[in-house]
A and B are shown apart, each in its own frame.
Chain A
Amino acid sequence: MTKKKLQANGLWLLVMIVGYLAINLLVYTGVVDSFIENMLVTIGINIILATGLNLIIGFSGQFSLGHAGFMAIGAYATGIILQTVPTVGGFVGSIVVGIIIAIIAAIIVGVPTLRLSGDYLAIATMGAAEIIRVVINNMKITNGAAGLFNIPQFATWPVVYVLVCVTTIVIVNFAHSRAGRAIQAIRDDEIAAEAVGVNPTKWKLAAFVLGAATAAIGGSLHASYIQTIAPSDFGIMNSIALLIIVVLGGVGSMTGTFLAAIVLGVLDTVLQSFGTLRMVIYAVALIVIMVFKPSGLLGRYEFSFAHVLNRHKKEDAA
């Protein structure tokens, strides 16, 4: 049992390293130009943001529409700190500061709103994200509506790649532990979960806070990669764009989130040559996928090396 798990973990590590080397090689040989690299980084940042949102929506069952608000906190923390301390240390420090502020904000937002559910919670979290945006819009330190520009670029694709791996490991391991079982129990039936000793407020808040923290990381990377941020980058439409990734991939499937982020990222890049038709085709693609696969590309399916190894063993035996 444990040996198989070690094997599976080893395989994942191998995949991560091979992926890194492969992209590195392609960049080196020039197959991946700056255009495609831009696409890869955008996909990576979207994966970080969407896995966090999937933890909140798919695993703890809370319909949050405020993800862009927490992303804005990370982005502005990095933007402001990097403009005064333009070093690698400053970048790392700014990510940490962004996470801490996002956690505090998530607790302040979460404690009163997480007793709501469904549409009501969506509206409340949307409002909370709007408050964050409006506050940023009116502060001196954030340079108001004009936003920040010339932010030094530290978020290169290797940094993004490593952070995609780290946040995914954190979220997936969280979801497959005592905490994950508690939040999924609350999602399926809150009354029954309480009746077996699960404190719903505590666990819902834990999932919400962890999701917000990863959103802040995504925001930090966004700020330092794009180098220009403004409050209008973190509106309701950005929260919805992330929601689309989660729903399209399959609510509750992290593999699906990866797949959807990649599919949409590639689609977006490919369609750029179509000009104004781009958004139409994008929307039609979304509609087609939702009509033929209402539960998302992968439903609740989760890819796992442990299962693949198990199946292999059984086939060998047969």
Chain B
Amino acid sequence: MVHQPTPANSPPASAGLPPEAVLALDRVDKGFVVEKKRVAALSEVSCAIRPGRVTGLIGPDAAGKTTLMRLCAGLLLPDRGTVRVLGEDVVRNPLAVQAQIGYMPQRFGLYEDLSVRENLDLYADLQGVPAQERSGRYRQLLAMAGLEGFQGRLAGRLSGGMKQKLGLVCTLVRPPRLLLLDEPTVGVDPVSRRELWQIVYHLVEAESMSVLLSTAYLDEAERCAEVVLIHCGRILGHDEPRSFSRQMAGRIWLVRAPALAKRTLQRELSRDPAILDALVLGTSVRAVGRDGTPPVLANLSDPSGAEILPVAPRFEDYFVATLKDEAADGESNRIALGGLDRRTNGNDVIAVDNLVRRFGSFFAVDRVSFRVRPGEIFGLLGANGAGKTTTFRMLCGLLPITSGTCTVAGLNLRTAAAAARGRIGYMAQKFSLYGNLTVRQNLRFFSSAYGLHGARRRRQIDWALATFDLEPYAASESQDLPLGFKQRLALAVALMHEPEVLFLDEPTSGVDPLARRDFWAQINSLADQGVTVLVTTHFMEEAEYCDRLVIMADGRVLAEGTPEEMKERHGGGAGSEATMEDAFIGLLQHRQPTGATP
């Protein structure tokens, strides 16, 4: 399905490229051969990027963003079409292009065993910056990135946010005319993310640089002057971010129903034929209509006190409205569990007290405490490297505890790790499935690994195939499944032995917003049936779906509470308008005013 929205003021795409375009792609095709099959990464891509502004290349993972960036940098050759950068044909004259652009790949391209200063020197040498210009430029760049005090430190010993800024600075030692940034903000804590954006704005204003920046966070669209929306290798639109959301005006509402639990409200709203999408936001549900018809509150199971108010549209609404499968009604994402024996009625399912994990002199997890009640969705929110996964591994009994206690389902993990493991389901990052086994073989293997056998095992496999709509795929190898179904299979595997606690480690990273919605609908239905869910995430907005959460940074818990409490307490006075990101930033700044880890 190809949507080519053509808003009135959209810049011309292919024909008659504006002469001032810093970057112009004309009907570019690019494919790769994966396992002997040809996969199109970009098809018929045409666009022109205008100078002196930040253009966002926005789309979910695997949309073709990195391929497009690499084509522009001369690292890949297009199969068809032309790419012109700053007036030069990249294919014919890559060196001339590379001499004028700055490019930061996803992994920043830093040499971790070189110091900050040595990295700068290397890139200055490579870019031919004369010696007499260096000290002035370095001072300016390091001040901009807040790295003045760290010149002698090895790049590998910097925090994630600082690495990102150093990577950016290295591409700037010789001021480029066009700056290509490939996902510079993914996985970085929100404070560093804001600082990075400030640097980018500064470059555009003070050095009149043109910037093309790719990101998978749809909420970053609003920060760009122009947005190129890309999905499955095709450009869905190219415009100012406001023009995208303006098309959704009058279709977004915030619904409150004090008599209903927020997940019940969400479920009932998404069943409403007028509603395309319903998401939990704080205590309310944010609903996107198919058109201007609002949801009928009288149809709710308990409409007492319910109210509805129109709200401003966001960029993501456009994306969802354009791509959401018309047929999906949310019901297919309900997962019915067979039976669940809850042995920990009333008590906390997970109790963590002063948990510590040390690697050498480094505290990956430092005195972490929290409690999770039965049937709760509990979130661990934090940037990459905050200690979420380490905490998780200890809770699952996969990593020994340095000190502190933690009990899961009433069992102490230090003394009864094996028994506790039988009561939990664990879905690791990247799903950990056997790619060359079929869906059925995966289910068979994992069920026996969890100790299921005989009739119960057969019953559970049938249940998994039926509940997760995996029957059509039962005989296909799991590596060939679409991403959404891989995720279903991974979840099915984690649920086969009917655990009472489900651990999900970054379950939605690398998944597009639509698949993420389906996934959360599945998780919600599990929680409704009494499964306790513990989930880690670095997507701020996903914190809204949790009943309660902790925010983590540098191995420590900064705050614990419901999403509403977090936003109210730490949102910096923005009150109910505050976002989770505001709360996170408020917490980080309160703790360490400089923003730099010692």
* A and B co-occur in one complex: no
